[in-house]
Structure 1
């Protein structure tokens, strides 16, 4: 229903403008039948365009031959306005070029028919033929240009939606990583309390019990030691309860689990937003260490996001390669104008931090022939595994 609001609203506005044109233009006031018929075609076409943009464009364009066939010198003003709006709407709402090009083509044919009818009425003089050629060129440029603007607007909207999704995914991953750090710190504190404090108090309670056993039963000293021993056991129970609460991660939000195995899906999403991306893989990307796999995917995601933000829809090449010791993520894009790549900022800083965790390397900067290049290397051999184990114990 929301899709129909725009063309139906346009139909109302065009109807008001058309009626005002008929009432205020003296040429139309004396013979209103033809301009009213042309206006009816415009309004009907705008209403139909709510569900069928291409068909609606053809109906709107029919107002041109109706006007000249009825004796007018050319299309009405509201027809010219609709000639611009209808093909643009077809380009904006259709799913692609293949499904929307019949709209401007129908408008072009109706414009040609209208100019031919007007030419026959004016005669076949050289001036008349030149006028026909000019009118056909003018209205053809109008409808095809409007269609191109509609396609561009749709592409920009899809790109903005994709950027919003990518940004949300990166933000969710950042929040999940921060939460994981908090959970890990809680578990470390729990281990320290269990291994150090609870153990020490348990030993003290046992020693107090041994000393109390050497004293006669009922003496003040034995009763005092018994109270201290009970207090120690109660403290141990409370500490173990607290340790259990610290170790409880059932309320933790499950972190997203991206993987280079989903790189093709990510590239497909970016390609759908208009970025011409080519993906090349070399080597088996399955079985990577999980932290490396996640970080490599996030670097790829961040690099593609930066291309969209700073270079636009320029040809981009993604290469994923796994060797015996490393996994390499490379993203290269052509020049996109004044801002041809990913300028230094939080994006590149985040990539460097991800790579540095595994003692890897990141090379990012402008290419000699224009554009921008990002190349991240993640070690996957013994050194990277040792770093990963060290990080898991901290």
Structure 2
């Protein structure tokens, strides 16, 4: 509604301005008519066709400027009415070779506000009207005079076309700038959404892992609280330590959102932190073994973090769902240095060797447990496994998740590394 009101106000203001211009042109034309045409009549009064300025002539001269008031809304119609009145004035002998200023303004308006075809039609109408008025009028001009008149009309038309093309060019530049700005905003929103998703995934991994460990340790402390107070105290101490670690990691990640925070430069966990993670799972009650094959290369930071989070999430799921008495094996196979081909052999702990699908040398990580396996109610639609899939797919890896034939559950992923590095 406000936009429509603004357009209405702008249209009213434009009509007021054009009406004022029409009144000004009418007054100027009358002064020119009464002074110049009076002198011309006195000099050429012997010609019967030349009329002295009178009321009819003054009225026609004033009316010829009236269409200027609607030059923006109906420019071609206003020009046609104006040149028709000018032709009538010349035919009745009230003007001696006069060029109407109003017709020049209207011809400019047609060229500046309408397309090429309509502006050409306006120029043609103006020239034909001038030709008709010259043939029917009493005064005659020399050939250079007619050429000058045609040149003036053409110049007014050319000026209008130039202004229109310039406006169209500026409008195109503004439109292009608006499109670029919208595209930039869309890219910014997409980047923010991606960053929020990444942070949410990191927070989920950290919270899910540590809370699961704390829950298991707290349950163990509750069971042995009366029978073995020392053991219960150790479990509660482990809960406290795990909680502090969780708070520290979450504080580090959240502080990344604050501009200029020193935590932005803090290192993220990687494969080098696997021994501490395995030890933490042992303390939580899940016997876990770490088997590593090959020499650890300098892994890209993204793959290093993704592989660590995969192991963390998989062990968290094993802790939750494998059941009592279950154990887990974390297998890591680094590519042999200098061998960019498929990895041969088998990983320690029974992990199959080689990269599936003939991938070049890369990092292979697996977590398997011997718990309830297919009988366990493991959901593969949760945020944790979905986050694992996203991480592996982001780096072009291959992920296999599912129960093992003999019981248990396995999460296995391969991350391709360029030239085995």
TM-score of the two chains, using structure 2 as the length reference:
0.45
TM-score of the two chains, using structure 1 as the length reference:
0.48
Q: Which one has a larger percent helix, Structure 1 or Structure 2?
A: 1
Larger Rg: 2
